[in-house]
Amino acid sequence: MSSPAAPPPVPPPLPQPPRRHRRSFAGPLVLIVLGIVFLLGNLHMLSWHRISVWFAHYWPVLLILWGVIKLIEHYQAQREGTRAPGIGAGGVFLIIMIVVFGLVASQMERVNWEGLKDQINLDNGDFDNIFGESYNFNDHLQQDFPAGASLKVIDNHGAVSVHPSDDNKVTVVVRKRIGADNQDDANKYDRDTKPTITTIGGLVTVDAKVEGAGDHPVETDLDISVPRKAPVTIVSRHGDISVVDRDANLDISAQHADTSVEDVTGNVKISQQNGSLKLEQINGDVHVDGHLDEVSVSDVKGSVQLDGEFQESVKLERISKTVSFRTSRTDMEFSRIDGSLNLDSDELHANQITGPLHLTTRSKNIALEDVSGDVRVQNDNGSVEVGMRTLGNVQIDNRSGDVQLSLPEKAGFRVDALARDGDIQSDFPELKLSSDDHEARANGTVGNGAAHIVLNNEHDGIEIRKTSAQAGKATESSGKSTKELRAPKEKVEPTEN
């Protein structure tokens, strides 16, 4: 019996064609989203400012969208038994760029751009260009001003000018500048920032309403005419201020302003941070406080008080009553000034001052000419020169700088002077001078000895000079300092121990 035939061999399976890898559509989708957003910006359907705000807040959504797409692609690949598409070098670069620009946008969104603009004095036109074009609008408001009422002006971004009116009305001329992407947006912001005049009791308020546009830059200049005898209060955050011809009190609170006030019959109070201040022809008292760069006050019939920090220069001229000046570095007070006083970071020069004068400062060179009355000066690290016109009691304490005191030749006084690590020179032979290796002294009485002079100096010398009446007149007429007109030095040889 024959064996059964062997089954035919099974042919090997045919090789399957390689499956094509799917390419990820996460990157293209994200680019499509970004492209649509930027297209809407170019078509002015969305403002660039709004786009930047959205991106600063919601940029992580792009990463979330990317991750969701990659997760869907992964599960789809598992069902098909294929390998999920990778990210690729281009995708990695795009993710890095989204993260970097997103973090930068988030940090920039937290920046107070208005405050930064104020600090660096950025021009408003340059700042507005960041947010689009600049559009101008004009307006005019007017209403009756109640008798005996006062005016309050609120304008947080724009110049304010106040001058007297020819009638019993308050008139406001408005000049507005708005940064926007298009005219329709500018018109909307204009409607949202219409200035108003409101009257409650005896107070009339003019409000520029610049905050009505939100983050969009709006600058509103107000030119206001109001009856001369109405008291005026101005509140401003950024913008120059000008007030002229008032017969009532004036109160100004401002930041980042150049303020000018002229011809006011009444008290003037200024509280200001940054900028400059100029006051002229004030028939009343003046009080200034804050942090300013330059201050100029002249022709004041009342007293002047300055408190705060003044960075560059202070100039005072013709103040009829008490002057008080206080900063972290200088404390000064005197009865009046018929001439001028100039003060900067390292110099103080004044002439025609009436005491009692009290001055405490440091690191300044002091020159006081034609001083009348009592004088008390304390200084460190600077020279002190005092020229007396009418002698009172004088005390000067100084360190690390020359001390020079010029006295009328016919004055009567008694002297107690001490110079450590310095010498003493005198034009008055009545004074007894002595010195050793470490200190020099001057004592004695001249004339009737009515005034008492005490001079103390460390690490430098003392000069007591004689000023004739003719020299004093020459000083007033020519403006030369006492030091330029002083007599030749007469040095005293040290005495032996």
Q: Which residues pair with 442 in a beta bridge?
A: 417, 433
Q: How far is CA 417 from the centre of its chain?
A: 43
Kindly report whether the peptide bond that precedes residue 356 is cis, defined as omega within 30 degrees of 0. Answer: yes
Read off φ and ψ for residue 41, nearest 5 degrees. Answer: -65, -45
For the packed helices 88-109 and 48-58, what is the interaxial angle rounded to 10 degrees? 110
Read off φ and ψ for residue 238, nearest 5 degrees. Answer: -150, 115
Give the model's pLDDT for residue 46.
61
Give the model's pLDDT for residue 475.
45
Report how far residue 493's alpha carbon sits from residue 497's, in angstroms, rounded to the nearest whole number. 13
Q: Are 309 and 327 in contact (CB under 8 A)?
A: yes
| pLDDT tens, residue order, the chain (497 aa) | 455 556 666 666 555 555 555 566 666 777 787 778 777 766 666 666 667 777 777 778 877 877 787 777 777 777 777 776 766 666 677 778 778 877 877 777 666 555 555 554 444 444 444 546 889 999 999 999 999 999 999 999 999 999 999 999 999 999 999 988 788 889 999 999 999 999 999 999 999 999 888 877 899 999 999 999 999 999 999 999 999 999 999 999 999 999 999 999 999 999 999 999 999 999 999 999 999 999 999 999 999 999 999 987 999 999 999 999 999 999 999 999 999 999 998 999 999 999 999 999 999 999 999 999 999 999 999 999 999 999 999 999 999 999 999 999 999 999 999 999 999 999 999 999 998 888 999 999 999 999 999 999 999 999 999 987 544 444 444 444 333 433 333 333 333 34
Helix or strand (DSSP H, E) at 68: helix 60-80
Give the model's pLDDT for residue 215.
73
Tokens 């610049």 sit on residue: 210
Report how far residue 197's alpha carbon sits from residue 151's, in angstroms, rounded to the nearest whole number. 10
Q: Are 463 and 405 in contact (CB under 8 A)?
A: yes
Read off φ and ψ for residue 477, nearest 5 degrees. Answer: -80, -35
Q: Is 209 helix (H, G, I), strand (E, B) or coil?
A: coil
Give the model's pLDDT for residue 491.
39
